[in-house]
Structure formats: structure tokens, C-alpha cells
Structure 1
Amino acid sequence: MDFNIVGWFEIPVSDMERAKAFYDAVFQVEIKLQDFGGTKMGWFPSDHGKPGAAGTLIQNKDWYKPSESDGVLIYFNSLDLQNELGRIEPSGGKIVQSKTQISPEIGYMAVFLDSEGNRIALHSRQ
């Protein structure tokens, strides 16, 4: 296979402005907003020459519902996930599992609830 198996992700939101502010603050990025005839999308920055999948925040009340426990768990990569953990609660989220070592070879993980109530994870080598 000459491509990453994960090609795209969408994180459901109820309030796009609140979700944008949360992710902008936690990851120190600028989410770009776009409205496609009632479906609002907030684009995470991506560089297609680097590893990892691209994705968006997405708001459409008929098709997407934030969830704390149902569905897929997305992991965001980090240099040291403790940096993002420190910005989660001040930005309106909640830490569910603090920085935990998976193994010395794999690194660390943590789980949080975003401003919309979605369960999201972080991964870092340190």
C-alpha cells in the first residue's frame, strides 16, 4: 500500500464557533470555516506531504451528533501531549485520562472531552 490507510476524519460539533475556539486554543492552530449549504466545516491545517490524515470539525444537525462514548476514537499526534493537556480545561474541555505511558516503545496517550462532548485522544512519544 503506497498511502496512509486513514484518509479523512470529521469531528461532529453542535456549536461551530465554540468548537473552533476550543481547537484553536488547545492545538494553537487556526481552523478555517466554510459553509456548504447548511453543513458547516472547520478545516484543520494540513500538509499533504507529511504523515497523518486531514480532517474537519463538522456541523449538520441532521447527520452529525457529538458523542462522549459512541463511535470511533481519534488520536491527535503531539510532540509532548502534556502541552495540549494543559490547554484543554481552560478552553472548555475535560481531561478523562491523564498522560499515561502505553509502553517505552510506543509512548504516551491521554483522553479528553472537547467543548462539544466528543471523546478525543492524544499520542506522543514523550
Structure 2
Amino acid sequence: MHKNWIQWFEIPVYQFDKARAFYEAVFQVELQVIDLGALTMAMFPPEIASGALCQGEWYHPSSDGVTLHVPVADIDLALQQVEQMGGHILQPKKQISTELGYMALIKDCEGNRLALRATY
């Protein structure tokens, strides 16, 4: 069995350009856009994540599904970007433990729920 069994994730979006700008600002990355006709993807850099934002008829943003926990270098900066880019902070930064660091729960600009994590 693989050490990390999550091989790929897809985050559904309706407003592709707005969502792409949100994720690029919050996570300080550049996403690669791929147009597959019925599906448009903005892929995260492979060295940091195996996944993409996806816009297509069968993708519907929701805060009711699985919550991805995503590492960030600076959780305070990321939270500032969340609000500036049209997202919402659901749970402010809190310490999980001295070993596990900090987390915050957010809703992205499309309505998806994510947890931000930092280990400093």
C-alpha cells in the first residue's frame, strides 16, 4: 500500500478564473490551465500537490463533502489572502498541539471547505 493513499484530488469550481486567482494568491503558486473541452483544469505544481481545480458540468462546489487539509508556509498570510480574494474564515487559526502546529478552517471563493495547516 502507498504511504500517502491520496493520489489525486479535484476541487470543483464554477467561476474558473476567480477560483484560480484565489488559489494562486492564498497558496502563493502558479496553476497550469488545461482545457479538455468539457472539462477545464488548473493543476497545482506537481512538486507540492497532485490535484487541480476543475470546472465542468459534473463539478459542483460544496462545503458538505471531504475537507482537504493543505499545508501553508505562513498561515497568517494565507488567511489574509483568503479574505482579500473573496473567501471566508470559518474557524480562525488555532493551535492543534505543539507537535502538529496550527490550523484554520476556510471556505474558498467557490464555497468549498478547506483546512489550512502550518507546523511552525
- Give the TM-score band, short-chain normalised: over 0.9
Report the number of matched residues. 120
Contact 2:104 2:116 in 1 (8 A): yes
- Within 1, Cα distance between the matches of 2:84 and 2:2? 40
Structure 1 residue 60: deviation in Å? 1.0
RMSD of aligned residue pairs (Cα, Å): 1.4
Equivalent residue for 1:13? 13
TM-score (norm 1): 0.88
Distance 1:97 1:88 in 2: 12
- Contact residue 73 and residue 118 of structure 2 kept, 8 A: yes
> What is the Cα deviation at residue 3 of structure 1?
3.9
User: 2:35: which partner in 1?
Assistant: 35
Judge conservation of contact 1:6–1:53 (CA < 8 Å) in 2.
no
Q: Does the aligned pair in 2 maintain the 1:94–1:113 contact within 8 Å?
A: yes
**Equivalent position of 1:56 in the other structure:** 52
Say whether the 8 Å CA contact 1:99–1:109 is kept in structure 2. yes
Percent sequence identity is 47
List 4+ stretches of structure 1 deviating above 2 A: none
Q: CA offsets per residue over residues 53-75 of structure 1, 9 Å max, x none?
A: 410000112x111002x111001
